[in-house]
Structure 1
Amino acid sequence: MTQQELQARYGAVMMNAFGAPKRVFERGEGVHLWDADGKQYLDLLSGLAVNALGHAHPGVTEAITAQLGRLGHVSNFFASEPQVRLAERLAALVGDPAAKVFFTNSGTEANEAAFKLTRLTGRTRIVAMEGAFHGRTMGALAITANAKYREPFAPLPGEVTFVPYGDVDALRSAVDDTVAAVVVEAVQGENGVVPAPEGYLAEVREVTRAHGALMWVDEVQTGLGRCGEYLAHLTESQVADLITFAKGLGNGFPIGACVATGAAADLLHPGQHGTTFGGNPVAAAAGNAVLDALEGGVLDDARRTGAWLADAVRALDHPVVSEVRGRGMLLGVVLTHDAAAGIADAALESGFVINAPRPNVLRLAPPLIATPADLQPFLDAFPSLVEAAETSSRA
């Protein structure tokens, strides 16, 4: 069946939550995708930073298949060995042997669990960041600073104060002994790939500790290698009280996690939260397979390739590019004017998958396994993509 036919069927049956799909993909392997008409694409978005190990990774595929053949689901009245093992490994990654894990199916659910944990402190105020994105469920949306997303669903869970991202004085003014938690990203992906200023996360830790508040770091997009480290916020050695994961943890299989450290690990008690599918054996097997693969030198390669890609875009010295920012394999190409959507569309037409989180920013988040040789075709094509976008805008 052709792409056009499948797009028509999609429009007839799917709720219009995402608009018309730009492509219908039917297959992926490594860093490439193929659409329903057989056209090949270089994936520089990884399903919004999800396919960290690329498409159809053999280790993840084998782990999921084998686990589903043994045991797929038992509910959280019971446990499975893959679930326990993955929780142990995540606890070890955050650097607290007493850390505890709550598994979910997605990043927004992980943040929803963290939101509920903050209420168990006996306080109800949260300080969040302007430019933040934490998800679309009601709790996660309440701490997401985007009026377009928020306003149709108001009133949202309240007592959330937004402060400018990276502004230490504003943070200190907003946090007092009534605040339950400060929630922050090490890099704001949806805001155009904006890294926290150097030292800012350390300030968040200091301020929260001084007022008995929780430091909550959303690592849904930045964690597990995307920024070149297992946890992006630990580059400043500031262990958070709550850390949320998802995206790359399952390499495409739905899984998320909320990890609590220190005293926060003991906040949740039976009956206060739940999930039917979270932490099921298959999802846990996927997570373990991802962590196995990351132990094989992937992070070192991702750091090197991410630095190479950033430098290579700068070396193009293209007049439309004003800045390249980000960390590891999460980069924002900042443009001199609002041309990002047009360039992303031109890229798709030419066989490259990227996106435009802001009108003047292109986001590049290739699979961590991508090599410079894999990515060079995009660099070679970039000037022609800009020209195609400009031509289209003049038409």
Structure 2
Amino acid sequence: MSKERQLQGMKISGKVATIFDGYNVRLYINRGRLHGDRNAIPITWLVSPETLIVDGQQEVYDVTKPINLTTSNNGKKEIWNITPILSNNPVLAEEYADPDIIRYGDMYYLYPTTDGFVGWSGYQLSVFSSKDLVNWTNEGIILDLKSEVEYQNQCGRKVGIVPWATGNAWAPAITEKNGKFYYYFCGHDKNTQKKAIGVAVSDSPIGPFKAKEKPLLTMEDCQSSGIEMGQTIDPAVYQENDKSYLLFGNGHAAIVELKQNMVEIIPETVKNIEGAEDFREAICVNKIDNVYHFTWSSDDTGSENYSVNYGISHSLFGPIDFKYKLLEKRSDLTILGTGHHSILYIEEEDKYLIAYHRFLTPLGQIQSGFGYHREVCFDWLEYKDGLFKKVTPTHKGIRIKWEGEQ
């Protein structure tokens, strides 16, 4: 920050993103991170040396209203107009990434990677539930890729173990079929020392889940099928008619049909998907009006340029006609590293929601390891004239009204 600016920043209950625009300041107050009554929040103003606050100083502030502050340094006054903005991004208060979101009945369920571990070394996977897409309940850990014995999570449900894995619990995806829930996830295969995709099954979206003894899909499967593949990671599940498919890949996009039991692949159906320009990982598909809308992540998750590309096809197996970047950073709002997403149609809103992750905000909390310090966000995705339109990532998120607001 400029040393000439008298107001340098602020400390507030919970983490907040702060955007300076001259003497106007946007202060994003996050629902999930706010501690205490939003009508009486203590704020400590951080000012430059020799600066005094001459007007507007209070012990607590009502962050539902604008705040005016006047500072003075050697006779030079600066009047600050501070606008608190009640926001819903990030969706979860803690560090998570790679969100997969579904709706079942009148509930939404969110399945992310647990983040904040050096080298993406997290080993537990959890599920969250919500009725309104804003207020989320942690339903507990559902899989533990390091434990050798089952145990109960904080909600009293059994945590499943994964006999073939030793960690690196990444990028889950889930679907329901015939009353059962099939949960696909990445892990480090202790037998091959490579990444693989596993599957666990439950009668409920919140578990308990029982993982299969062996991986569902491995690098050896890819090599046997003769396809190009960097790592066997990042599953996304797609169902059409009575058939089910898994899209996956790193470096090269691929698809495979699942058997009717959903826990085995049909090996001869493994193939690469052509046309996913600048493909890195995390490909998924939505079918609208008989057109397949493919989206995938490009660049590296540790890069601020991590983003989501978009293309369409008239075949589930490609080739894809690349269109444009669907979701990318907004440096002006300190929103960086936007990628690894899932897309859900909200029928009563007639809208599409995109769930994705970005670098942990506010920026500056960490100095390195941005790719494993990430947070989950939601924004609306517009579909018009046969195409998804470019997403504007926000701090506000969706359903910005808080309880009690008109």
TM over 0.5: no
Structure having the larger proportion of residues in helix: 1
Give the TM-score of the pair, scaled to structure 1. Answer: 0.28
Structure having the larger proportion of residues in strand: 2
Higher gyration radius (CA): 2
Give the TM-score of the pair, scaled to structure 2. Answer: 0.27
Bigger RCO (CA 8 Å, 6+ sep): 1
